[in-house]
């Protein structure tokens, strides 16, 4: 395949499900840009800077990974970065309905950009950032759902609040 793939999301926080999609996409593309969406209407646990910092720790030394942030439409961001591919992960049928609708709108807005879907590995199909945050909020480790540095950041964040 080659080229540049953009993997957009809030990544609040980055989970092992996200990590799995990224690892499996790397052999398919020359570069994968993890694009952290900043949405002023959505309350995030971690600031954009914190999310990017955690990702830089997780992906330190991964040459084909770039971490960036953006606001606005994903297709506009893809155009500015020269990407013809939006990468998305699917966990279940409920994800498909939502993601399919977005991919149709993106295709209408930018016919030259394709959306590639990767199915979550069965071991990660139940992981969601919302569930991870809820468990961590109650002081429980989520080591098998997030990278170690993210688990520590979650526990610290909730201890401080």
- Angle between helices 93-109 and 74-81 in degrees, nearest 10: 60
Q: For 113-145, how does the pLDDT look when each residue is reduced to its tens digit (9 = 90+)?
A: 999 999 988 887 888 899 999 999 998 889 899
Question: What is this structure's pTM?
Answer: 0.94
- Going along the chain from its start, the domains and CATH numbers come out as 4-125 (3.40.50.620)
Q: Which of 40, 41, 42, 138 is catalytic?
A: 42
> Average pLDDT in the 83-111 region?
94
- Pair 124, 17: CB distance under 8 Å: yes
SS (H, E, C) 92-106: CHHHHHHHHHHHHHH
Q: What is the pLDDT of residue 121?
A: 86
Q: Please give the Cα distance from 134 to 142 (Å, whole number).
A: 10
- Would residue 129 show up in a list of annotated catalytic residues for this protein? yes
Residue 44 has pLDDT above 80, yes or no: yes
Average pLDDT of the segment spanning 74-99: 93
Active site residue 60: no
How far is CA 67 from its chain centroid?
A: 10
Question: Residue 45 carries which DSSP code?
Answer: S
Q: Work out the mean pLDDT of the chain and round it to a whole number.
A: 93
What is the number of alpha carbons within 13 Å of residue 95 lying toward its C-beta? 13
Structure tokens at 94: 């409920």
* Percent of the chain at pLDDT exceeding 90: 80
Catalytic: which of 48, 91, 103, 133? 91
pLDDT of residue 161: 63
Q: Residue 109 has what pLDDT?
A: 98
Q: Is 23 a catalytic residue?
A: no
């Amino acid at each position: 395949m080659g080229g540049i793939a953009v993997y957009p999301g809030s990544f609040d926080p980055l989970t092992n499900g996200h990590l799995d999609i990224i690892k499996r996409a790397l052999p398919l593309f020359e570069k994968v840009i993890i694009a952290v969406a900043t949405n002023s209407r959505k309350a995030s646990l971690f600031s954009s800077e914190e999310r990017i910092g955690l990702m830089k720790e997780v992906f330190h030394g991964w040459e084909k990974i770039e971490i960036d942030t953006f606001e606005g439409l994903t297709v506009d961001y893809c155009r500015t970065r020269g990407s013809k591919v939006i990468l998305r992960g699917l966990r279940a049928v409920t994800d498909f309905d939502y993601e399919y609708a977005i991919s149709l709108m993106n295709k209408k807005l930018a016919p030259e950009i394709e959306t590639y879907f990767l199915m979550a590995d069965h071991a990660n199909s139940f992981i969601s950032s919302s569930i991870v945050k809820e468990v961590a909020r109650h002081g429980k480790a989520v080591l098998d759902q997030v990278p170690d540095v993210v688990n520590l950041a979650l526990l610290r964040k909730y201890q401080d609040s």
